[in-house]
Amino acid sequence: MVEIYSSDFEAANEGEITQIPVTVEFSFMVKDKDEMIELAKKKTMPFLSKDSSMELSKATFGKTLTIKTKFPFGKKSVLEDKEPNALFHIVAQDNRVFVEPTDSLKKLNKSLKEISFGLDVDLPPTRTIFRVISDSRKDFNLSAIAVFSDNKAYLEFEKTLKRRDSVEVEFRGDEGSVYGEINPFLKYSSN
């Protein structure tokens, strides 16, 4: 889940970078007798922000690794210049916001493959959730195609957020979904 405030969009448009809280979950359908997940955690931590945390829990089938970290949000050119070592950039460009992998992700995947050939971060993810919170006095408009919000499917999603309103927009990247092939993106504007 990527959590962004409307003022973060304004700051990005002005060339600022904001560190955005992100929660990432990985499911492992293995018993992990060789403690590959612990090794993967150790190799991943240096690639994350300093205040990141990881928690491993038992799931119905296997284990779930939950990572809480921050990724930089801003214009693509500014991020490439000032945040080249982040795993992902949350990019605001042409009134769209999307998550983009960096060269650091390639380095992490190479490091993870040293543990096990099948261990890596695949893109696009199975689910991407943007939670947008309006902290602006102006209305903040969002739109997307083929998404879920409030457990309802939308072919065309449009929402106007008033101050202190929030919305979660979920992109599913399962097999057969367009977001299994391309990175999801939200369109935005303010009045």
Q: Calculate mean pLDDT across residues 153-175.
A: 94
Q: What percent of the chain has pLDDT over 90?
A: 71
**C-alpha 94 chain-centroid distance:** 19
Does residue 135 carry a pLDDT above 80? Answer: yes
> For 114-128, what is each residue's pLDDT tens digit?
887 777 887 778 899
Q: Calculate mean pLDDT across residues 47-59.
A: 91
Does residue 28 carry a pLDDT above 70? Answer: yes
> Which pLDDT belongs to residue 80?
96
Average pLDDT over the chain reads 91
> Which pLDDT belongs to residue 152?
96
Contacts of residue 32, defined as CB under 8 A and 6 or more positions apart, other chains included, come to 62, 63
Does residue 180 carry a pLDDT above 80? Answer: no
How many CB atoms lie under 10 A from the CB of residue 163?
13
**Domain assignments of the chain as residue spans, ordered by start:** 2-190
Task: Name the residue with higher pLDDT: 29 or 21.
Answer: 21
Does residue 16 carry a pLDDT above 80? Answer: yes
> Which pLDDT belongs to residue 74?
98
Global pTM value: 0.90
> For 59-100, what is each residue's pLDDT tens digit?
877 788 899 999 999 999 999 999 999 999 999 999 999 999
- Of 22, 12, 127, the closest CA to residue 78 belongs to 12
H-type helices in 47-121, by residue range? 76-82, 103-113
Does residue 129 carry a pLDDT above 80? Answer: yes
Q: What share of the chain is helix, strand, coil (3-state, %, to 5)?
A: 20, 45, 35
- Whether 91 and 128 have beta carbons less than 8 Å apart is answered as no
Q: How confident is the model at residue 33 (pLDDT cuts 50, 70, 90)?
A: low
